[in-house]
């Protein structure tokens, strides 16, 4: 066995960088996640608005052979841009944002490797087992990624899954029990640390440790990463078991 930091393993997994294309109003942006809102009079805080199109970014990732990245549609007005990105990198990108059993197969047919789901499988702040079963039936667990993006209710407290553009708290905590419970229903987990998302303030260390220690499936972490050193930090904290995504 090999020992790396606090990690004992016969085979040391390796944290991978996964690209991300966040779409808002059809444009690639980096947004401070905690400022997303349904209120049209309160636009989100934008750190970066790209001049390149989503399809150009997708083609760039295809050329670099970066696999397992994703396209996230933040609100309405993003469908055409998302489909263009999928067409530019068939089979290379996952897609999330407003996915449900009715539209999921359309995105898979358009070139998505997986669909990413959060809000649809929650109702009234709770995980809806019937809706989760509907999603699994529609696409199969091997092409489903569950987004367990989360926030703390109080400093130092547990991380709770949030839905509806990260505005609504659920009663589901991100911990070993939850990850093991959901593992049979999907291929991977995607977890945004919403309180640091888009702030380039460093990763949520405790959350990365939980994901690395407890997740029985591949898991991608997003939030706060700003440098290659942060990629190394996630590898260290998770024993190489958690991948990192950074927006375009």
What is the tens place of the pLDDT at every residue in 137-169?
999 999 999 999 999 999 999 999 998 877 899
Q: pLDDT: is 133 or 25 the higher one?
A: 133
What is the tens place of the pLDDT at every residue in 10-22?
455 789 999 999 9
pTM of the model: 0.90
Identify the band that residue 4 occupies on the pLDDT scale cut at 50, 70 and 90. very low
Average pLDDT, the chain: 88
What is the tens place of the pLDDT at every residue in 202-228?
899 999 999 999 999 999 999 888 888
Identify the band that residue 124 occupies on the pLDDT scale cut at 50, 70 and 90. very high
In this predicted structure, what is the pLDDT of residue 38? 62
In this predicted structure, what is the pLDDT of residue 3? 36
- Percentage of the chain modeled with pLDDT above 90: 69
Strands 93-96 vs 69-73: parallel, antiparallel or unpaired: parallel
Section 20-44 average pLDDT: 72
Section 30-58 average pLDDT: 71
- 111 vs 132: CA distance, rounded Å: 23
In this predicted structure, what is the pLDDT of residue 248? 47
Residue 2 has pLDDT above 60, yes or no: no
What is the tens place of the pLDDT at every residue in 163-196?
887 789 999 999 999 999 999 999 999 999 988 7
- Those residues whose C-beta lies under 8 Å from the C-beta of residue 70, and which sit 6 or more positions away, are 18, 20, 21, 93, 94, 95, 96, 116, 145, 190, 220, 245
Residue 48 has pLDDT above 80, yes or no: no
Q: pLDDT: is 146 or 50 the higher one?
A: 146
Spell out the long-range contacts of 90-95 with Cβ–Cβ below 8 A and sequence spacing 24 or more: 92/58, 92/61, 92/62, 92/66, 92/67, 93/21, 93/58, 93/61, 93/69, 94/68, 94/69, 94/70, 94/145, 94/190, 95/70, 95/71
Q: Each residue of 234-245: b (16+ CB within 10 Å) or e?
A: bbbbbbbbbbbb
Residue 200 has pLDDT above 90, yes or no: no
- Percentage of the chain modeled with pLDDT above 70: 83
In this predicted structure, what is the pLDDT of residue 45? 63
């Amino acid at each position: 066995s090999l020992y790396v930091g606090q990690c004992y393993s016969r085979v040391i997994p390796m944290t991978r960088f996964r690209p991300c294309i966040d779409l808002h109003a059809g444009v690639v942006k980096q947004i401070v996640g905690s400022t997303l809102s349904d209120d049209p009079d309160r636009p989100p805080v934008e750190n970066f608005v790209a001049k390149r199109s989503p399809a150009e970014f997708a083609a760039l990732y295809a050329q670099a052979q970066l696999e397992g990245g994703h396209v996230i549609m933040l609100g309405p007005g993003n469908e055409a841009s998302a489909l263009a990105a999928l067409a530019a990198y068939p089979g290379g990108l996952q897609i999330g944002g407003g996915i449900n059993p009715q539209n999921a197969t359309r995105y898979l047919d358009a070139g998505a490797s997986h669909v990413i789901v959060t809000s649809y499988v929650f109702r009234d702040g709770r995980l809806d087992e019937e809706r989760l079963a509907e999603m699994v039936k529609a696409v199969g667990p091997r092409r489903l990624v569950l987004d367990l993006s989360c926030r703390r209710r109080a400093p130092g407290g547990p991380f709770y899954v949030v839905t509806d553009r990260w505005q609504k708290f659920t009663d589901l905590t991100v911990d070993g029990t939850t990850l093991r419970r959901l593992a049979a229903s999907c291929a991977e987990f995607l977890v945004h640390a919403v309180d640091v998302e888009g702030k380039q303030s460093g990763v949520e260390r405790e959350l990365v440790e939980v994901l690395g220690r407890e997740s029985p499936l591949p898991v991608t972490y997003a939030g706060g990463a700003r440098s290659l050193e942060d990629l190394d930090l996630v590898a260290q904290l998770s024993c190489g078991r958690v991948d990192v995504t950074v927006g375009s």
